[in-house]
Amino acid sequence: MAESDHPIHTPDQLLARYQAVRGHSVALAAGLSEEDCCAQSMPDASPVKWHLAHVTWFFEIFILEELEQDFRPFHPAFRMLFNSYYNGVGDRHARAQRGLLTRPALREVLAYRDNVDRRMAGLIGGVQAGRAARLAALVELGLHHEQQHQELLLTDVKHLFSMSPLYPALYSAAPSAGPPAFDPASDERKPLPPASSQPGWLCFEGGVSQMGHDGRGFGFDNEGPRHRVFVEPFMLARGLVSNARYLEFIAAGGYDDPRHWLSEGWEWRCSLGVHAPFYWRRDEAGGWNEFTLRGLQLLEPDAPVNHLSYYEADACARWCGARLPTEAEWEHAAALHEPSFQDLYGSRWQWTSSSYAPYPGYRPAGGAIGEYNGKFMVNQYVLRGSSCATPPGHARRSYRNFFPAGARWQFTGLRLAQSTRQSTPQVR
Amino acid sequence: MAESDHPIHTPDQLLARYQAVRGHSVALAAGLSEEDCCAQSMPDASPVKWHLAHVTWFFEIFILEELEQDFRPFHPAFRMLFNSYYNGVGDRHARAQRGLLTRPALREVLAYRDNVDRRMAGLIGGVQAGRAARLAALVELGLHHEQQHQELLLTDVKHLFSMSPLYPALYSAAPSAGPPAFDPASDERKPLPPASSQPGWLCFEGGVSQMGHDGRGFGFDNEGPRHRVFVEPFMLARGLVSNARYLEFIAAGGYDDPRHWLSEGWEWRCSLGVHAPFYWRRDEAGGWNEFTLRGLQLLEPDAPVNHLSYYEADACARWCGARLPTEAEWEHAAALHEPSFQDLYGSRWQWTSSSYAPYPGYRPAGGAIGEYNGKFMVNQYVLRGSSCATPPGHARRSYRNFFPAGARWQFTGLRLAQSTRQSTPQVR
Amino acid sequence: MAESDHPIHTPDQLLARYQAVRGHSVALAAGLSEEDCCAQSMPDASPVKWHLAHVTWFFEIFILEELEQDFRPFHPAFRMLFNSYYNGVGDRHARAQRGLLTRPALREVLAYRDNVDRRMAGLIGGVQAGRAARLAALVELGLHHEQQHQELLLTDVKHLFSMSPLYPALYSAAPSAGPPAFDPASDERKPLPPASSQPGWLCFEGGVSQMGHDGRGFGFDNEGPRHRVFVEPFMLARGLVSNARYLEFIAAGGYDDPRHWLSEGWEWRCSLGVHAPFYWRRDEAGGWNEFTLRGLQLLEPDAPVNHLSYYEADACARWCGARLPTEAEWEHAAALHEPSFQDLYGSRWQWTSSSYAPYPGYRPAGGAIGEYNGKFMVNQYVLRGSSCATPPGHARRSYRNFFPAGARWQFTGLRLAQSTRQSTPQVR
Amino acid sequence: MAESDHPIHTPDQLLARYQAVRGHSVALAAGLSEEDCCAQSMPDASPVKWHLAHVTWFFEIFILEELEQDFRPFHPAFRMLFNSYYNGVGDRHARAQRGLLTRPALREVLAYRDNVDRRMAGLIGGVQAGRAARLAALVELGLHHEQQHQELLLTDVKHLFSMSPLYPALYSAAPSAGPPAFDPASDERKPLPPASSQPGWLCFEGGVSQMGHDGRGFGFDNEGPRHRVFVEPFMLARGLVSNARYLEFIAAGGYDDPRHWLSEGWEWRCSLGVHAPFYWRRDEAGGWNEFTLRGLQLLEPDAPVNHLSYYEADACARWCGARLPTEAEWEHAAALHEPSFQDLYGSRWQWTSSSYAPYPGYRPAGGAIGEYNGKFMVNQYVLRGSSCATPPGHARRSYRNFFPAGARWQFTGLRLAQSTRQSTPQVR
């Protein structure tokens, strides 16, 4: 993000936005006990308490430590305990042992948040003129970072609760009278509009296209630089693949026929014994339930299928006679015909066949903060759009989410693509 | 490969080519004992005997079984024993247990080769007119398949011998008076011309470019369809990174500083304790030797560095202030200025940052043979060019080799690239 | 335990004892937060909350379910959630996932305890005459079971806290003015009397000896039947091996010389990188601290060495020119000269060289409760005596504790033995 | 073995015995190819070639190196390559990589054998008078060592061949006209006499008994010192458990009911998916075959069951209402009533419930040779008797074979025992 293009907030605006985003994190954890906030269900997931502390750490380490007068850390051990992966900051606590941090207690983490919020308010209100732009850029980055963790907090709690035979619910099962302004579990509380009932496709002629963040508003470094790509003609489905359609894939033996699968996907499916999406559970009568943040619910046929790995998305697409889109295709289509699509945002992240790689000319920032995105650009696949767990205002067209091909605990679904022209097989 | 574009061989030409390629496989194993040919040093590598049998199986299963009159298998168990990964053909022997197949003996596998060669000669000489084109296409595919395994045979024997404290040599250490017509260990027998002494770069303006196989001559299905890409301006190094340059990377602490590494690469480096290229061995005085097919040899500073993983190539490139090229950049540069580069072919495979993915419109062949390439298109990276172990006539500009990022036992090196324009870091 | 030998308590006595033991469990957890009680630091350890629930489950499942009129379970899922390993009771929650049970909350588990305690009080006060003996036997078993878990609760919390860089303390570091009636962390709060300052040995002539529980008072089934063994002449050390002695073993290179170690012990030591007892930590000056329930403390040279694996105990004994005692030797010596020894009880469990095996004529009880001890009699080693974490009144001469050879997180130490007569080596 | 008790051979006698035993090893490998002799089917098994070299190494390192004038090693690398586990001798080749030693070739190992045999003959014929007794003791040890490997060679080849879908046979399936003088596969070539048709038991009153090697003839150090034990009254089955009886165990759901199993045994059974003895294979009609050194054969109901793990033997015994004998019981019974038993020797090794531990007063020899037995005395169980693969003259009453509880590839079976008196369960 070029600073010159950055809409400079007034200190008051910046502070208001800071407080809104920060407050939202705490609100998300409202229904959780100390124990819920402490447990870690797998190495890939982090405890809620750790999320709440780490996003605070981000502000303390990357902003206060640089810009605050007479900086003193809230607690000397926190620098290490809540460092996620920044080698430039120093040592860090082993990722798989975050759930063993019963101390500091949740209330101490909340006190840490309060302390940093107070100091940040002071800094925002009183920063030196020459540092204001840099401060604003860093705060903006920190807030988008916190929003990413807001979504992870929900996916990680969902995973934790799914491990319990009691299937706890984060949200009440009863539909609320009116939807809240922001509803992270919206797709879990009320039936979705039938997402896939119009199975139509939109066709694109392709050609040279621009992709990447255009410099207006915030974007992560991995969304730039904006550059040109050539897109061959293709079609993209208006809607997402629904549970009903996915049930057909299962009924047709999709999980039992290696011909639909990538070789590595087949090994994955066999070694883990996968035979349905991640949170689907059979009831005693053989019907399907789905574990949600409202607890175990009857599977809704019309809702978009959720919690697919890349391997499953790819296999189902193949079985449908289609394929995953590339991220260039997705962005091209979204730029041209956004209103024509359903569920581009706010429903399911959409796997693309594009591995997560730097755009031409990509250069990370210097220092530890440069580790934010760039060092993960191998063996991960890009997801586009956003999900029902993405905080409001966080998604955008150039956004690049990324996960390994076997990841299933994110809100991940499938939008089909096809090439308009296909090759002639070599041997026929 | 469209058949219409295929230069139809006369039966005699086809047979001569068949016999040349087939004979070469046996010649490669000439210096090996029964025991050398049977052992399997890791699941990723196969025994020489298995390679010799599997490439024969390919002709028997995919050609003779379809086109031979009164087809009868040479041995009923071979269909399963020497099936590599074709689910469409049926069961297969566990990959990691290929080295336990002490039976059939090497001489029985050679008898299998003779038998299939005799039957193939009969078929080539007497195929029905209407099947001739299909036969020629299949034979061509089988021969390129066999050539791929010729290279694998050498890389796998090299790996096996590297596991022995005796460091056996496949080839005599004494330089031969004159080079043979084909010399799979050429880079191991004589000093290479100083590959990296001209550290210059070639600059490309980019633009819309065609890439992929153009239909003239043989190409694997994954090389097509030919399609357009947009290439942003870039530079590509004329030569490969040399051992001397790589030694500088090591001396500068390259293996000890996570800032040079992809996050996953750093974990890989730490968990395996990697601190030098795969076959480098310290001598007692602290100098470096390199294990080669001629046995343990003093490291040659001017030779291109060999046996790098993707992670190491990426880290060294980053330390050099450069990056890996994409496969589109590599192919674009090779198409425009092939003579200006050193070691494009015949020295080291060159890692690209492009994950192995289908080209737009790619469609594999029907049936089991369609499993040849397509199902591996995830979590692998494309290598371009060819190596000193690649058989003559096998490499071409559109060739896409691919391996996982941690693979080191192939003849893999590094050619640097740079973007001409770079992004402005988000936070500065 | 033969019932006829059992000192039948009056209902009032039995209830008082029940309430004392049950109350002690809750008292042990007094200094712990909800989070401390929920976390599980390794599959071998259980959360405090799980311990508190499981011992309650034992009374509910094995007593109330059989003897209570109109039995109704407190919560239908608890039968499965808090089943440790009783196949006869049905399914059970995966051991390694006990730490993910954030629900039920600690307060719900305490409510479960209250509920069961109330029902048990009713049952003890009103049992049918014909069932009184059986009830008393089962209650006694349940209370000894709970006492076993009281020790495990402490060892498991110690392990959890040792994983935190903050090294939390369960007990205040300041020595208490007067020792409490029962002091589970006594060896951690005050300097021990110099345990090993009299390095003398007691000699035994051996002969036919009785071993096993004699039927007076409670004993677990694995302590019987009482039977005869022949004990060859031996010596047993009066005291335990001290930290100071163990430091000599380390200083002499004990951890670096495979000749002192069992072959499997050496592999264990190398694969885990063990080079000191489990909770020893070097400070920055190179001195040794020991993590205790009071937090990190300077190592006390005179205290008995703690937290040894069988492998370490065996290696140190060998280095001392001695060996581990058998359990028959230990019990024989304790029966004859208990007052002559130091630290037989209440300090460190003492490894014996006896694998945990049934005594001749051993027969477990019928039904699920028969799984209590018998099914673990393979690949474990017997420990005798008791530790500073063992509840008062729980230890006795015939007590057989048992753990796998690599276990280190129990309070395990070393008492040396020697054979009076030794063999002549075969080859000399 | 006390040397004074040793029947000193004349040099000629010693040499003749040396040559007989050494020749037998080579004879065992007669039907095997170079490839058969090189492959290693699992880390626990060694290649035949390695066995042939290692037993030769034993003579070279432990005898020639000490006693030969002007000793020079046959090959400097062999000291390391063929060292099994003697830390006192120095480094050794990684056990799991023995199958990668394609060099030295089999013929080089046979040349090594010839060389050492020639030098040993010279030494035996010309040893200094003062060293004759030591030489004789060492040679005797070396020959018994070689005999142990003769049995291992057969068990390891059997395992290797069992991994091949071709199920190769080491011995011809046709029954030989007359049995050879020694017949390692006797139980595999001809139907056994119905071993278990007399299901009777022999009763023993027990009491103080002597056990261990009595010093007459050769014994390994772990068989001594002879010492007293007290044996409580017991019964021991005359015959071994037959295949027919084991089939009843299977038919009764023995593999599916955890109540029959040790807890660790049940985990073992579940994690490996065990449901029958190691080499049993179902044919297409649902009948049972057994893989033998004669290839795949119909299961013989009357033959003793073979290739059981300790866990399976224990579970089957429990299901029979019996238990495994201790090694003291086994030796006591064999001493008193050897002729009354069937298959004590030469059929199946018999699991005992005794963990492999030192006898009271056991002291290994000094130096590297002291590593022979003592360092394995943990987490292994003693087997008594001998098997059909044990060389003639190798078995004896005090012999202690030992393997981990999960080992199945040895010729291991089951003889039942019972205690005459049993305990009264604690809770009834």
Cβ–Cβ gap D423/C225 under 8 Å: yes
- pLDDT for res A278: 98
Which element (helix H / strand E) includes B383? strand B381-384
Cβ–Cβ gap D357/C354 under 8 Å: yes
pTM value? 0.93
Query: In angstroms, rounded to a whole number, what is the distance separating the alpha carbons of residues C309 and D379?
Result: 14
Q: How far is C177 from chain D (nearest CA, A)?
A: 43
Asked if residue C47 lies in contact with residue A99, where contact means CB atoms within 8 angstroms, the answer is no
Q: Is C4 on the interface with D (CB under 8 A)?
A: no
Cβ–Cβ gap B262/A376 under 8 Å: yes
Q: Is D258 on the interface with C (CB under 8 A)?
A: yes
Cβ contact A–C (≥3 pairs, < 8 Å): yes
> In chain C, what's the furthest Cα-to-Cα distance?
75
Chain D CB contacts of C259 under 8 Å are 87-88, 371
- pLDDT for res A44: 98
Query: In angstroms, rounded to a whole number, what is the distance separating the alpha carbons of residues C82 and C228?
Result: 39
Cα A126 from chain centroid?
34
Q: How far is D262 from chain C (nearest CA, A)?
A: 4
B:325-384 residues touching chain A, CB 8 A cutoff: 326, 353-355, 357-366, 369-371, 375-379
Taking residues A352-372, what's their average pLDDT?
94
Tokens of A166: 């009691």
Q: Is C271 on the interface with D (CB under 8 A)?
A: no
Q: How far is A171 from chain B (nearest CA, A)?
A: 36
- pLDDT for res C8: 56
Strand partners, B114: none
Strand partners, D323: D417
Query: In angstroms, rounded to a whole number, what is the distance separating the alpha carbons of residues D147 and D134?
Result: 20
Cβ–Cβ gap C103/A35 under 8 Å: yes
Cβ–Cβ gap D101/B38 under 8 Å: no
pLDDT at C195 over 60: no
- pLDDT for res C173: 57
**Pairing verdict, β B234-237 and B201-204:** antiparallel
Give the residue from B83, B100, B162 with the most D CB atoms within 10 Å of its CB, the best one to mutate. Answer: B100
Residue-wise pLDDT tens digits, D339-382: 999 999 999 999 999 999 999 999 998 889 999 999 999 999 99
Taking residues D72-97, what's their average pLDDT?
97
Instruction: Select the residue of C134, C366, C425 nearest D221 (Cβ to Cβ).
Output: C425
Q: Is C52 on the interface with A (CB under 8 A)?
A: no
CB atoms within 10 A of CB A248: 15
Query: In angstroms, rounded to a whole number, what is the distance separating the alpha carbons of residues A9 and A21?
Result: 15
Instruction: Select the residue of B35, B81, B97 nearest D102 (Cβ to Cβ).
Output: B35
Cβ contacts of D107 within 8 Å, gap of 6 or more = none
Asked if residue A379 lies in contact with residue A367, where contact means CB atoms within 8 angstroms, the answer is no
Taking residues D90-112, what's their average pLDDT?
97
Residue-wise pLDDT tens digits, A284-332: 999 999 999 999 999 999 999 999 999 999 999 999 999 999 999 999 9
Q: How far is D335 from chain C (nearest CA, A)?
A: 18
Tokens of D173: 């399936």
C:198-217 residues touching chain D, CB 8 A cutoff: 208
Cβ–Cβ gap C426/D365 under 8 Å: yes
Q: What is the mean pLDDT of each run of 10 residues along chain B (428 residues)?
A: 50 96 97 97 98 98 97 98 96 97 98 98 93 95 98 98 96 49 41 47 97 95 97 97 98 97 98 98 95 97 98 98 98 97 97 98 91 95 98 96 98 97 66
Give the residue from B32, B33, B91, B102 with the most D CB atoms within 10 Å of its CB, the best one to mutate. Answer: B102
**Single-letter amino acid, residue C206:** G
Q: Which residue of A has its CA nearest to B375?
A: A262
Cβ–Cβ gap A100/C165 under 8 Å: no
Q: What is the dihedral of CA D206, D212, D216, D217, to 10 degrees?
A: 130
Residue-wise pLDDT tens digits, C231-275: 999 999 999 999 999 999 999 999 999 999 999 999 999 999 999
- pLDDT for res D157: 98
Give the residue from C34, C102, C109, C409 with the most A CB atoms within 10 Å of its CB, the best one to mutate. Answer: C102
- pLDDT for res D187: 42
pLDDT at D75 over 70: yes
Chains C, D: CB pairs < 8 Å: 166
pLDDT at C197 over 60: no
Chain B CB contacts of A221 under 8 Å are 423, 425-426
ipTM of the predicted assembly exceeds 0.85: yes
pLDDT at D9 over 80: no
Q: Which has more confidence, C385 or D195?
A: C385
Instruction: Select the residue of A33, A104, A165 nearest C34 (Cβ to Cβ).
Output: A33
Query: In angstroms, rounded to a whole number, what is the distance separating the alpha carbons of residues D62 and D368?
Result: 9
Taking residues A143-167, what's their average pLDDT?
97
Q: How far is B163 from chain A (nearest CA, A)?
A: 27
Cβ–Cβ gap B80/D41 under 8 Å: no
Q: Is D173 on the interface with C (CB under 8 A)?
A: no
Q: How far is B129 from chain A (nearest CA, A)?
A: 16
Instruction: Select the residue of B232, B266, B355 nearest A355 (Cβ to Cβ).
Output: B355
Cβ–Cβ gap D375/C261 under 8 Å: yes
Cβ contact C–B (≥3 pairs, < 8 Å): no
Cβ contacts of A79 within 8 Å, gap of 6 or more = A57, A61, A73, A89, A90
Instruction: Select the residue of C41, C81, C105 nearest A35 (Cβ to Cβ).
Output: C105
pLDDT at C328 over 50: yes
- pLDDT for res D7: 58
Share the mean pLDDT of chain D: 92
Q: Write down the number of H helices and E strands in chain C.
A: 12, 12
**Single-letter amino acid, residue B408:** R
Residue-wise pLDDT tens digits, D128-177: 889 999 999 999 999 999 999 999 999 999 999 999 999 999 998 544 33
Which element (helix H / strand E) includes C122? helix C106-126
Q: How far is D89 from chain C (nearest CA, A)?
A: 11
pLDDT at A178 over 50: no
The CA distances from residue B212 to B229, C63, C198, D3, D246, in Å, are 10, 76, 85, 81, 64
DSSP state of B84: -
Instruction: Tell me the residue length of chain C.
Output: 428
Confidence of residue C4 (pLDDT cuts 50, 70, 90): very low
Chain D CB contacts of B35 under 8 Å are 34-35, 37-38, 102-103, 105-106
Q: What is the dihedral of CA D236, D237, D240, D246, to 10 degrees?
A: -110
Q: Is B235 on the interface with D (CB under 8 A)?
A: no
Give the closest residue to C187 by CA, choosing from C282, C297, C289.
C297
pLDDT at A426 over 70: no
Residue-wise pLDDT tens digits, C147-169: 999 999 999 999 999 999 999 99
Taking residues A128-149, what's their average pLDDT?
95
Q: Which of A416-420, B187-191, C28-32 has the lowest mean pLDDT?
A: B187-191
**Percent of chain D having pLDDT more than 90?**
87
Q: Which residue of B has its CA nearest to A329?
A: B360
Taking residues D266-271, what's their average pLDDT?
98
C:82-101 residues touching chain A, CB 8 A cutoff: 93, 97, 99-101
End-to-end Cα, chain D, rounded Å: 50
Q: How far is B79 from chain A (nearest CA, A)?
A: 19
Query: In angstroms, rounded to a whole number, what is the distance separating the alpha carbons of residues C105 and C48?
Result: 12
Cβ contacts of A330 within 8 Å, gap of 6 or more = A236, A350, A352, A384, A385, A415
Cβ–Cβ gap A221/B423 under 8 Å: yes
Confidence of residue C88 (pLDDT cuts 50, 70, 90): very high
Cβ–Cβ gap C39/A100 under 8 Å: yes
Cβ–Cβ gap C35/A36 under 8 Å: no
